Structure 1
């Protein structure tokens, strides 16, 4: 049996194997090192790419912001140009003079008609409640009356003076004279800053709080008084102002030597609620006797909801008949020369309802009560012509098919009670009418 002989490794073989292993190990290490360097290089390159991409995104965002700024500036400029253009366009056509004054012409053609069931004797289709005949004493019944006397023509104007404009108005109609058919001045005044000088609505008896009527002379409790005056307005804030005036009330019943002094405080509590309180004082002089007349008033306007408006106006006056309409004579001289004064309260209420852009209507009521001062009553020459009470109620409807045209229809009923009885014992007179109006505005 042969024994397998193990051949020992020689030194030469060992020497050959070891260099090979070393080379292999070195190559592996170099490969690993090169691989690590490659991975690091790739990571660095990827990081640089991400940074560059981020820079590009930031630059794009900056460009977008700059572009938006330019667009906003262009939009703001365009809006400003539109606003400037809109502000310079006049609301109404105007005429200009060589010196820079601007005029705006306006007016209307107005036809009033009335079918009078019972009423006053004057040949006009307007209110005569304080003088209608007493029952059974030649009443004026079943009459048709019409007129164009309320046709109106006006001119608004303004002219630059220094850093402000002088503004003004001239307006006329044909309701002047005893028969209300002559040309008359309604308004003629100048306005400069807070000052007004000329003729316009009285500062005491203003029509702002009267419910709407067709009747050009208004109804019981109202006032359509225009006076020559000098007026100053003090504005405390955008919602409150005080107006004071010296007025000529044109009271033909007295010998006037001083103007009436009036004051009016206006305040707006909210966008839909306005109020006014007023006061008046005026010396009344007959021969050498003098008495001071005075009065207070208050008015309110309240928009309950859009399209529904309530109005109310109240007066208490002593010794004057020149401001509020349809009153008894304010002051009378007795046989001994002394003066006695009349005193009254009046109130007017109404609601106006819009039924759309073309249709609206009003329900209203007015009442006046005169003090039963026996000294005053005894001084009356004719007690049937002075009234103890007056009242009227009315309902109307207005229709405007197009902007220049307006048509109205109104029914009114009222009564007066006199201090003295007629020969037949009657103390009551009646006003019963159907009014109509057609207006073309220009």
Structure 2
């Protein structure tokens, strides 16, 4: 029963009592009137008077019923309020999102204090300027974003897009930078987002805001087209600007990615890349292949793996040696490498999950390439890292992570003290509030 009904119930009862009293009085009046009649009066008068009394009583009853129905009619319940969406006069809709992220790290052994996140390819060699026992913290990975959608032309098609920034720009990772800025319509995308070749979908989860050895989180300006062959298969073609500052660029890179879902718990992605690399007027063609897979072994247990083979490029896959360099005689020499990352994530409870991961990169031992390097101890023969982490989310907006990572790099040439190995040994922690 609603509030209106509760407050009006005594009123309804009173009106019904008055109505019954009036009915009794009317009937009593009719009886007295009949008794006062003499036998000489006309029966027609009695009948007519009785008819008038009954009609008046009926009208009174109907009026009272109408008033009672008005009083007890249910109050309409408004539909629950929906989450407000920002709109402008053109009909475009906007949705703001983001997070506040605080990272901290205790570095037992590792790289430069100016860089908070992973730098396995550049950690000092043992005994050659090592950095030990350092605490680091930053909020530079805090993120702000906006999704938008706007009607375009006739029909149901709409232009959609995203603008997302964080503060990981610049050498010290303290400047505002664009992560994503693109618009998409139908099967086309124009703007900056994840590279079509170096996708992050198959990288095991880390607390570190950057990936570990064997992975890549490359974002590039691009023009992309998607062709859907079936609900389980599509092909994505793109031309991308990889922003490779080590070469003179005449043409964009061309990338292709074939995605296929074999079952609800298994999907794979095969990728290819080609790019012309130029130094002065000399040129070489860089190319690469990639293969990623995600497999839900059982509900709550997920296996991810990602593999790359690349020749002549260091712009797509993280921590690679320079892709192409010039020898003393002007010849262009290319680096070639294989990399892999693999990890297992377990969802222990609704609020707790953890990951074990391993990443490895191996570079070809090309003596001509090595001889042409200006600093042989800064280029790597092998890189590897292993990590273990846990994430705890007490409520949906909040997430806390703790991680231990250990890795090593082996250089092509030794430091002056004879060491060829550098070490990365850290404990990472993160607190994230999503909004």
- Residue 5 of structure 2 corresponds to which residue in structure 1? none
* Among 245, 258, 264, the residue aligned to 1:265: 258
The answer to whether the aligner puts 1:320 opposite 2:313 as a matched pair is: yes
Match of 1:115 in 2: 106
CA distance in 2, matches of 1:157, 1:176: 24
Could you tell me how far 1:143 is from its partner in structure 2? 0.1
2:283 alignment partner, SS class: strand
- Specify which of 370, 392, 406 is matched with residue 377 of structure 1: 370
Q: Is the 8 A contact 1:124 1:146 kept in 2?
A: no
**CA offset digits 1:244-278 (Å, max 9, x no partner):** 00000000000001000000000000000000000
The aligned residue for residue 326 of structure 2 is 333
Partner of 1:136: 127
Distance 1:241 1:371 in 2: 33
Query: Which residue of the partner structure matches residue 342 of structure 2?
Result: 349
- Provide the C-alpha distance between the structure 1 equivalents of 2:429 and 2:120, rounded to a whole number of angstroms: 18
Q: How many residues are aligned here?
A: 355
Residue aligning to 2:32: none
Counterpart in the other structure of 2:430: 437
State the match for 1:150 in structure 2.
141
What do residues 160-203 of structure 1 show as CA deviations (whole Å, max 9, x unaligned)?
A: 11220100000000000111110000000001000000000000
1:123 Cα offset (Å): 2.0
Cα distance in 1, alignment partners of residues 174 and 256 from structure 2: 33
* Match of residue 180 from structure 1: 173
Structure 2: runs of 5 or more not aligned? 1-78
1:427 aligns with 2:420: yes
For the 8 Å contact 1:125–1:435, the answer to whether it is kept is: no
CA deviation after TM superposition for structure 1 residue 124, in Å? 3.0
SS of the aligned residue for 2:384 comes to strand
Using the TM superposition, give the Cα deviation of residue 135 of structure 1 relative to its aligned residue in structure 2, in angstroms.
0.4
Structure 1 ranges of 4+ moved more than 6 A: none
Partner of 2:42: none
User: Counterpart of 1:306?
Assistant: 299
- Superposed CA RMSD: 1.2
Q: Take 2:264 and 2:84, find their aligned partners in 1: how far apart are those partners?
A: 30
Q: Write the distance in 1 (CA, Å) between the matches of 2:302 and 2:102.
A: 27
Deviations along 1:385-442, one digit per CA (max 9) or x if unpaired, are 0000000000000000011100000000000000000111100000000000000000
Q: CA deviation at 1:93?
A: 4.1
Residue aligned with 1:357, SS: coil
Counterpart in 2 of 1:165?
158
- TM-score, normalising length: structure 1: 0.79
Q: Tell me if structure 1 keeps the 8 A contact 2:113–2:136.
A: no
Tell me which of 115, 118, 124 is aligned to 1:127: 118
1:125, distance to aligned residue in structure 2 (A): 2.6
Match of 2:226 in 1: 233
* Shift, 1:338, TM fit: 1.1
